[in-house]
Amino acid sequence: MEVTKDMTIGELIRNKPEAVDTLLRFGLGCVGCPASQMESVEEAAAVHGLNLDDLLKALNA
């Protein structure tokens, strides 16, 4: 499954639970937070000041 910028964090975790380790490594510690379940990968990267391309590469590795 390819992770895209439009995928929600909730969808990502449900479909690719191993991605939690990558999200935590990038500083996205609130992966279980209710708000993050509806937040897109792109929005999460922006809120946390992360490079979206780097995050997507890591999530798709």
Residue 13 has pLDDT above 80, yes or no: yes
Per-residue tokens: 47? 């809120």
Could you tell me the pTM of the whole model?
0.89
For residue 3, is it left (φ>0), alpha (ψ between -120 and 50) or beta?
beta
Which residues, 6+ apart, have CB-to-CB distance to 35 below 8 Å? none
- In CATH terms, 9-60 corresponds, of 1.10.3910.10, 1.20.210.10, 2.40.50.140, 3.40.50.2000, to 1.10.3910.10
**Cβ(9)–Cβ(23) below 8 Å:** yes
Looking at residue 1, its pLDDT comes to 85
Average pLDDT over residues 6-15: 93
End-to-end CA distance of the chain: 11
Which tens digit of pLDDT belongs to each residue from 14-49? Answer: 999 999 999 999 998 877 778 778 899 999 999 999
Per-residue tokens: 57? 């590469």
